[in-house]
Structure 1
Amino acid sequence: MDVIARAGRGMTRGQEFRTVVDGAWSADPAHRMRWEMSLAFVAASEAISLPVQAGLDIGDRTPMTAMLEAHFGCRFDTTSVDLDTEPLNVATRYPVVTAFEVIEHLYNPLHLLLQIRAALDPAPSSRLFLSTPARKPGFLQSPDHFHEMPRRSLEALLSRSGFEVVRCAEFGIRSPLFCLRGVRPLLRCIFEKIRIYELAARR
């Protein structure tokens, strides 16, 4: 896999708050747990009939993209534009869009969310599945994250961009063995949670 600095898996080379998506990043056990938990949340949706015609995974292609394709039975497109400022320029409207751990890397997440809303198929069953880290104490926040939003702020952002919450959940991404490595790992196990949403475009 090419080493490309992206905005949470979708941006340009060499910018602060951008994650490098490469083999080492993909091999992190926390990512595998996050992908599996996220897919379980997606699979529990009652809105989308399988298979679907097409999907869009915001950011670079990762192993999670392949997992989504296997579940939904279709090809998932990915993105390669500046998610803060550029249009998605998609060629179709999608019944399902996913944005996993993207918005915390962006300076302007509202722009991306408005672009996603425009890219969603207008059918009432169309869904955006979005996840982002729950807000942690400052000393535990990732240096790659421009912001980690409190739940109230995040849900205000989602509402402002024209989405309504269908379901939400939180889950941890660290194994029990990781938690026993010391005080800081234990604190990360306590505070490091992923908040995930199933969202419908407000009509």
Structure 2
Amino acid sequence: MYEKSFPNKRFKHTIQFLEKHISNTQTILDLGIVNPFSKIMQDHGYKVENTNGEDLDEDTSTILNSKAEVVTAFEIFEHLLSPYTVLKSIQADKLVASIPLKLWFSSAYRSKTDMLDRHYHEFEDWQFDWLLEKAGWKIIDRQKWTNPTKKIGIRPILRWFTPRYYIIYAERV
């Protein structure tokens, strides 16, 4: 069912995890601009508002002023210099967040054409857990999955066995 309606495995796993923990009657603030996954959440009945493209390292006013019951953050914390500040500023009591995991066989992502599209952090799962706990969140559930590619080579083979994405559901302590 999900295979044909989602552009990739990451979206399929993410919506399944979200539906497991968050009712579509709850309002969501999705960190980051409107994106393909925002649309998928709306298609599943979620009421979603997004941040407006502001630099969240510098301006957390949208987060501070949001009345949303849940915050989602899908592959955004690795782009921030200070994810701790953003995590502390969240007013909602529930958080669903995912990150790409640090891969021992691949260097951190850095776009050569887009100055904003780079990873300042690529976490190991324990590092992300620790960051969340330090920022006042208790992790209730977590999941990892791989991201295989159809390319040939050593790294593509390793991607079949090495988890690439990590998602958590947490509640404010």
TM, length-normalised to structure 2: 0.81
1:21 alignment partner in structure 2:
none
Q: Does 1:201 align with 2:169?
A: no
My pick for the range that moved more, 64-73 or 156-165, is: 64-73
Counterparts of residues 40-51 of structure 1 (less than 5 Å): 40-45=16-21, 48-51=22-25
**Separation of aligned partners in 2, 1:74 and 1:97:** 12
In structure 2, the residue matched to 1:83 is 56
Query: In the alignment, residue 132 of structure 1 is paired with which amino acid?
Result: I
Structure 1: how far apart are the matches of 2:124 and 2:155?
21
Provide structure 2 residue ranges, at least 5 long, that are not aligned to the other structure.
1-5, 111-117
Q: CA deviation at 1:140?
A: 4.1
Unaligned runs of 5+ in 1: 1-29, 121-125
Deviations 1:104-136 (A, max 9, x none): 1111110111122x2x1xxxxx42100001221
Would you say 1:36 and 2:12 are equivalent positions?
A: yes
Q: How many residues are aligned here?
A: 160
How much identity, in percent, do the aligned residues show? 25
3-state SS of paired residue (1:86): coil
CA distance in structure 1 between the partners assigned to 2:7 and 2:119 by the alignment: 16
Q: Which runs of 4+ in 1 moved over 4 A?
A: none
When residues 83 and 39 of structure 1 are mapped into structure 2, their CA distance, relative to the original with a 3 A threshold, is: same
Trace 1:69-148 onto structure 2 (pairs within 5 A).
Answer: 69-90=42-63, 91-116=65-90, 118=91, 120=92, 126-137=93-104, 139-143=106-110, 144-148=118-122
Query: Which sits farther off after the overlay, 160-169 or 66-75?
Result: 66-75
Q: How does 1:3-82 map to 2 (within 5 A)?
A: 32-45=8-21, 48-52=22-26, 54-82=27-55
Query: Distance between the aligned counterparts of 1:72 and 1:96, measured in 2?
Result: 14
Question: Residue 189 of structure 1: CA displacement?
Answer: 3.1
The one of 151, 154, 161 equivalent to 1:183 is 154
- In 2, Cα distance between equivalents of 1:145 and 1:189: 22
Deviation of the 1:31 alpha carbon: 6.6
Residues in 1 aligned to 2:18 and 2:104: alpha-carbon distance in whole angstroms? 28
Aligned partners of 1:79 and 1:162: how far apart in 2? 25
In 1, are the aligned partners of 2:9 and 2:147 still within 8 Å (CA)? yes
**Per the alignment, in what secondary structure is the counterpart of residue 61 of structure 2?**
coil
TM-score (norm 1): 0.70
